[in-house]
Amino acid sequence: MISNVAQGVRAFTSNVFLVGGDRPVLVDPGANFDVVERLDSRVDDLDAVVLTHTHPDHVGNLAAVKGAFDVEAWGFDPSIDGVDRAVDDEETVRLGDHEYVALHTPGHKDDHLCFYAEEPGILFAGDLVFQNGGFGRTDLPEGDRETLIRSIDRVLDRIDPDLAELHTGHGPSVTTDPYGHVELAARMARQT
């Protein structure tokens, strides 16, 4: 079961996905709201916090979650403050009940990761792509449009056209033709 703990929050934050199951994890702790209070009512324990990337809106609550649940943060670059364990490109990590492959997808930020589980067809896309062909900003430090396009293409080549769920860093998750939304993002990112 995947739920967005930040649902309804009116502060500037990312989506915060609680992945339940054998290995409960939090994908991005978000920022600017009391995520620990929201988690306390939903889960007794967490095994890890998994980061798509370290922009402040995705990791502002990281210290609070680590302190409350005594967990490590897993991300691409352990030299960044708060990241305790490196997740390498193509490494397999267990989130909830499924194995996900981590895909290094820079372009929005150098340490950006997407997480894809072929079975059951779930993609955590962070800020790489969004609903309706949206894609990550490239006007921030470490942003680069050509790199972002290559990252979107890499994900498109990897995911199954029958993708069931697309969970993005902002906005709603997509369960109706999520593959089509990623394809559209690839096209839109190429337009100037």
- pLDDT at position 117, please? 98
pTM value > 0.95: yes
Give the span between the Cα atoms of 101 and 63, in whole angstroms: 25
The reply to whether 123 falls in a domain is yes
The total domain count for the chain is 1
Q: Work out the average pLDDT over 150-167.
A: 97
Contact assessment for residue 36 and residue 30, using Cβ atoms and an 8 Å cutoff: no
User: What are the tens digits of pLDDT across the range 28-60?
Assistant: 999 999 999 999 989 999 999 999 999 999 999
The reply to whether 141 falls in a domain is yes
Question: Residue 71 is part of which domain span?
Answer: 2-79+89-189
The reply to whether 24 falls in a domain is yes
The reply to whether 155 falls in a domain is yes
Which CATH number does the domain housing residue 58 bear?
Answer: 3.60.15.10
The reply to whether 35 falls in a domain is yes
The reply to whether 84 falls in a domain is no
- pLDDT at position 155, please? 98
Give the span between the Cα atoms of 143 and 107, in whole angstroms: 5
